[in-house]
Structure 1
Amino acid sequence: MDDTPEHPLDWLDRAAADRRAAGLRRTLRHRAADEPQLDLAGNDYLGLSRDKRVVDAGVAALRTWGAGSTGSRLVTGSTELHARLEDELAAFVGTEAGLVFSSGYTANIGVVTGLSGAGSLVVSDGANHASIVDACRLSRARVLVTPHADVAAVDAALAARTEERALVVTDAVTSADGTLTPLDALHAVCRARGAVLVVDEAHGLGVRGEGGRGLAAELGLAGADDVVLTVTLSKALGSQGGAVLGPRRVVEHLVDAARTMIFDTGLAPAAAGAALAALHILRDEPRLPAAVLAAAAALADAARVPAPPSAVVPVVLGEPERAFAAAQRCAELGLRVGCFRPPSVPEGTSRLRLTARADLTDADLDLARRVLATVLAES
């Protein structure tokens, strides 16, 4: 009998084998700068990540401020550029103030943990992004997860609470299926029950609302004194980073209390400069959000699924192996699409996830139609 103890990391091999057997093994794919495939997998909704105006602004910020912000926001990581970005984001969306973070992920963690804590309740939508899920886990609050968009369940959770403070946290637009959350109904419940509504506009900014101001702005909620928004700079704005937008006293509190702002290095100046330029383009070209939705409708028609109210077009195929094989086949035919499998989506709903862009041409859409017709017939 071999008494040699097992290596403490051997369990990783077994876990990898289990994931492989379930069709859930993931690998990094290193994209080339000149990749020939049409990209319908990324979140560059307005097609601005390579726009010369955005790139030039990032380069100018790089030359002016350097490659990194050099420290946390409270030490040396806040520049005049960060302040401009915060002020202009808040003004564009319609809130009192803004606070820029290094990512949308850290913005969600910062706002949820900063506004909750022990002795409070956080009600989280069951379809929320992983960043919100992780924020809830870190909050030290009591967390209740309600079914997606179930306003009655949220109302019941708030009505039964014993905690003095409560947050309701939700995505405005769900990342996996592109549906809209009924924010107006949720806000009415929050206001009646004395709770704060926190809305992640990651997939709403640049796509929904007048001029792309987001779903909360579309519904008249962006400037409410009991609503806090988070946005990402890495999707419609084509850069990187995130922000919290809302009442000034919330922003001031987060400067004191949000650990992902206090202890994280500030957003790189190049990313801030690029995001600010993209925001100016969105402000000056209000046709862009409608172009995104038109492209999404065309892609949905090609995939024979209903037109979505956002840039996200889900094509549900069922089992993860089937979705993965279909995504690989699309790539072989010149089309890069997303492949969402558990735990990103529920069991049995693995899917292709197509993302529309405002700059898709007729030729791009024709290619997508041909490839999707072939792949879906084979799947």
Structure 2
Amino acid sequence: MLGRALSAARSPGWSRIPSRARAALAQLHSVLEAELQQIHGAGTWKGERVITSKQGARISVEGSAGVILNFCANNYLGLSSHPEVIQSGIQALEQYGAGLSSVRFICGTQNLHKSLEAKIAKFHQREDAILYASCFDANAGIFEVLLTSEDAILSDELNHASIIDGVRLCKANKYRYKHLDLGDLEAKLKEAQKHRMRLIVTDGVFSMDGDVAPLKEICDLSDKYNALVFIDECHATGFIGPNGRGTDELLGVMDRVHIINSTLGKALGGAAGGYTTGPKALVALLRQRSRPYLFSNSLPPPVVNCASKALDLLMDNNTIAESMTSKTKRFRSQMMAAGFTIGGMDHPICPVMLGDARLASSMAEDMLKRGIYVIGFSFPVVPKDKARIRVQISAAHSDEDIDQCVKAFVEVGRKHGVIS
């Protein structure tokens, strides 16, 4: 594959490249080709399927005939192709244009941005909010602003990659506690008492496993050891908790969690964008010093309006979010009855645990042949020997869709010897 790229590079224009540059480029291609071959050999190559339709419970996939049931999207509420969400985006495109061609503090702030930030803060019952191009950027932009070398950050070992990268950027003293292990967290908090401030950082819901952080107990420890609590709610906002506010609402600690980062790119319309919501003073400081905010273009008006309409729909009526519970239970109970091991706890993220990367990839391909879109997850997305197919339930799925997915899993699972 990369060899073809190298051959293409040696076109007539190749001769015009200085010899030393050609040697360096050839060396680069050699190194990259070896690395790519190693990924292929390990069975962890991640191909990209091409969708030729709107995102939704039913999609069209290039190379596959007929309608495909999609069980692999973060489209938890089915709002990515909701007609009101789409129309709201069209209206913003016509009135405000495609984009701002600028960052927020120069000439990239519109009333749409300020309105959405206020709506997010209201939704989470926080003082203020700030928008980013993605939650990855929000996680990359907060810790180095909030914490200094005088402070400490205590992070769950299975936190999302964006949190890990954000933590690396800050100068705080770093403590990593074992996944969901309150005893280890307390030991680390005791050790961190010598620092000025302590920030506990955790996913509300862990995206690869679907398990929920024990926020009440974490907040108890934060009170005991005078620490702040930060949660990433990307896989909770919009559909977890009685009103879809997230894991802090689900577990009754909305007034005890200090800072929330989340996304607009999953349940809230599925386009793009992330945010931080919390104390007004923190948001004000992020506007002054957060590098991803200061040096990235503003969110495009259509994206902003789509997310805003998604929030309106959610706050007007929470029946969409409530439907997730029964749909999730239906899938999990049938799959476990069939003999599959399903990770996580009652969350619409339903990891079908397989262990072997090649097995996960092969089963996902066989599922597609049966009209079900799922993807095998393997290293480095998940730890080695913990490959899985991560199924995600959407409010847009019908009971019949779920039953059809289970039926396909049973057929494929028997073919590969995963179940009897």
Where on the TM-score scale, by shorter chain, does this alignment land: which range? over 0.9
Structure 2 letter corresponding to 1:297? K
Q: Look up the match of 1:10.
A: 30
Find the counterpart in structure 2 of residue 296 from structure 1.
Answer: 328
* Post-superposition CA distance 1:276-320 (Å, at most 9, x none): 100111112211222122222222233225583221001000110
Are positions 1:326 and 2:346 aligned together? Answer: no
Structure 2 residue identity aligned to 1:364: D
Name the counterpart of 2:52. 32
Which deviates further from its counterpart, 212-221 or 48-57? 212-221
The residue that corresponds to 1:234 in the other structure is 265
Q: 1:252-292 CA distances to partner (integer Å, 9 max, x unpaired)?
A: 11111211111111111111100010011111221122212
- Asked if residue 121 in structure 1 is aligned to residue 152 in structure 2, the reply is yes
Equivalence map 1:189-228=2 (5 Å): 189-224=221-256, 227-228=258-259
TM-score by length of 2: 0.86
Percent identity between the aligned chains?
29
Partner of 2:350: 313
2:30 alignment partner AA: D
Structure 1 residue 322: Cα displacement: 0.5
Query: What amino acid is aligned across from residue 132 of structure 1 in structure 2?
Result: I
Q: RMSD of the TM alignment (CA)?
A: 1.7
1:1-379 alignment to 2 at 5 Å?
Answer: 7-33=27-53, 35=60, 36-161=67-192, 162-224=194-256, 227-238=258-269, 239-304=271-336, 305=341, 308-379=345-416
| Equivalent residues of 2:212, 2:345 under 8 A apart | no
Q: Which secondary structure state, in structure 2, belongs to the residue aligned with residue 160 of structure 1?
A: helix
Query: For 1:153 and 1:76, how far apart are their aligned partners in 2?
Result: 47
| 1:33-85 per-position Cα deviation (integer Å, ceiling 9, x unaligned) | 15121111010000000000000111111111111132111112221111111
Residue 205 of structure 1 aligns with an amino acid whose one-letter code is T
Looking at structure 1, the residues matched to 212 and 247 of structure 2 have their Cα atoms a distance apart, in angstroms, of 8
- Provide the rounded CA distance (Å) in 2 between the counterparts of 1:80 and 1:57: 15
Q: Which amino acid aligns with 1:310?
A: H
CA distance in 1, matches of 2:135, 2:362: 30
Letter in 2 for 1:14: A
Determine helix, strand or coil for the equivalent of 2:388. strand
The alpha-carbon deviation at position 15 of structure 1 amounts to 0.9
- C-alpha displacement of 1:249: 1.3
Choose 136-145 or 169-178, whichever is displaced more.
Answer: 136-145
Q: Aligned partners of 2:41 and 2:218: how far apart in 1?
A: 41
- 2:375 aligns to what SS in structure 1? strand
Q: What runs of 5+ residues in structure 2 fail to find an aligned partner?
A: 1-22, 54-58, 61-66
Q: Deviations over 1:116-156 (max 9, x none)?
A: 23332211111111110110111132222211111221221
Q: Does the CA-based 8 Å contact 1:105-1:131 persist in structure 2?
A: yes
Deviates more, 1:38-47 or 1:193-202: 193-202
Residue aligned with 2:374, SS: strand
Take 1:15 and 1:117, find their aligned partners in 2: how far apart are those partners? 37
Is the CA contact (8 Å cut-off) linking 1:46 and 1:358 kept in structure 2? Answer: yes
SS at match of 2:296: coil
Post-superposition shift, 1:329?
A: 0.8
Whichever of the two has the greater Rg, that structure is 2
In 2, the alpha carbon distance for the partners of 1:69 and 1:103 equals 16
* Residues 223 and 247, structure 1, Cα contact 8 Å, conserved in 2: no
Deviation at 1:164, TM superposition (A): 1.3
Structure 2 CA distance, aligned partners of 1:247 and 1:319?
44
2:9 corresponds to: none
* Runs of 4 or more above 3 Å deviation: 305-308
Name which structure has the greater RCO, CA cutoff 8 Å, separation 6+.
Answer: 1
Provide the TM-score with structure 1 as the length reference: 0.94
- Tell me how far apart the structure 2 counterparts of residues 219 and 296 of structure 1 sit (CA, whole Å): 19
